Amino acid sequence: MPHTRRKRSYLLDPRFQLKWTGYLVLVVVALMAVLGVVISQTASRASDTAEVAVAQAEKAFQESKANNALVRGSVELAGDPNLSAVMATSLAEVDAKQDENLKAVQQRRDLIARDRKQLDRLLWASGGAVVFALLLLGIVITHRIVGPVYKMKRLLRRVSTGRLVVDERLRKGDELEDLFETFLQMTFSLRAMQTARLATLDGTIRKAESSGSAQEVLEGLRALRAQMVLGLEKRRVSRPPPAPSKGGT
């Protein structure tokens, strides 16, 4: 019969694991929220500064155009065509330069606004990824602690029924190795005590048999011995009896 691999469960004690994983996530999320607020406020101040700079540049551009219009009007009233041509060229260059500066400031504002939106999306995406990673990490870490505890509880229930042979070990990477080794030492001590008691019981049975004790007493002692021996045996995996061959009688 092929060996069927058991599906590994990382939530052996959901209440314990999810509680401490939740604490870990909450602490990290709180720190990330504080950091996100600081970054968001810094980006907001940069965006506000860009808006103010654009507003001032637009105001300066409008004032420059108004002043240029006044200058043109004054030159035209003077009636000097040459002066009017020179001033028109000069003022056109000033307007072009102002317009170029205004566009540059507006582009800078748009770039800051776009960077702020990208930063907000990055903060939300990275926050979600970190929370998801912490959930997985918390469950895996607590699994390394809960796994040994879960196994020890199961083995303690077996020892409490009198079965003192423990042939299981912790998985590689599990925590609480010292505690599990202490548990194994306890089972070794109990087995040694049980073996000594069994030897004493064997001596008592031999004396009872030689002294001609009642059959009921001997049967009771032998039954007690069988129970003690059962606790020192390794747990056997029950297998179904082999199916009879078709050619058998």
Residue with tokens 């056109």: 92
- The closest of 170, 190, 189 to 180, measured between CA atoms, is 170
Checking if the pLDDT of 239 tops 50, the result is no
pLDDT one-digit tens code per residue, 94-108 = 778 877 877 887 888
Tokens read off for 140: 């895996």
pLDDT score for 83: 65
Tokens read off for 165: 């042979």
Q: pLDDT confidence of 235, banded at 50, 70, 90? A: low
The residue among 205 and 51 whose pLDDT is bigger is: 205
pLDDT score for 78: 63
Q: pLDDT confidence of 248, banded at 50, 70, 90? A: very low
pLDDT score for 244: 45
- The closest of 228, 225, 229 to 203, measured between CA atoms, is 225
Checking if the pLDDT of 2 tops 70, the result is no
For the chain, give every domain's residue range.
11-163, 176-233
136-140 long-range contacts, CB within 8 A, separation 24+: 138/17, 138/20, 138/21, 138/22, 138/24, 138/25, 139/10, 139/11, 139/17, 139/18, 139/21, 140/10
CB 165 within 8 A of CB 190: no
Checking if the pLDDT of 62 tops 60, the result is yes
pLDDT score for 97: 80
Which distant-in-sequence residues (6+ apart) come within 8 Å of 195 by Cβ?
A: 232
Once rounded to an integer, what is the mean pLDDT over residues 61-76?
73
pLDDT score for 77: 66
Residue with tokens 């199916």: 243
Q: pLDDT confidence of 249, banded at 50, 70, 90? A: very low
pLDDT score for 8: 61
Please state whether 231 falls in left (phi above 0), alpha (psi between -120 and 50) or beta: alpha
H or E element at residue 105: helix 81-160
pLDDT score for 96: 80
pTM of the complete model beyond 0.85 = no
Which distant-in-sequence residues (6+ apart) come within 8 Å of 26 by Cβ?
A: none
The Cα–Cα gap between 57 and 109 comes to 12
User: Quick one: CA dihedral 72, 74, 77, 82, positive or negative?
Assistant: negative
The top-scoring range by mean pLDDT among 27-31, 139-143, 227-231, 241-245 is 27-31
Checking if the pLDDT of 118 tops 60, the result is yes
pLDDT score for 112: 80
The Cα–Cα gap between 43 and 65 comes to 33
Once rounded to an integer, what is the mean pLDDT over residues 37-48?
82
- Which string of DSSP letters, residue by residue, matches 129-182? HHHHHHHHHHHHHHHHHHHHHHHHHHHHHHHHTT-------PPTT-S-HHHHHH
Task: Please provide the average confidence, as pLDDT, over all residues in the chain.
Answer: 79
Once rounded to an integer, what is the mean pLDDT over residues 73-87?
68
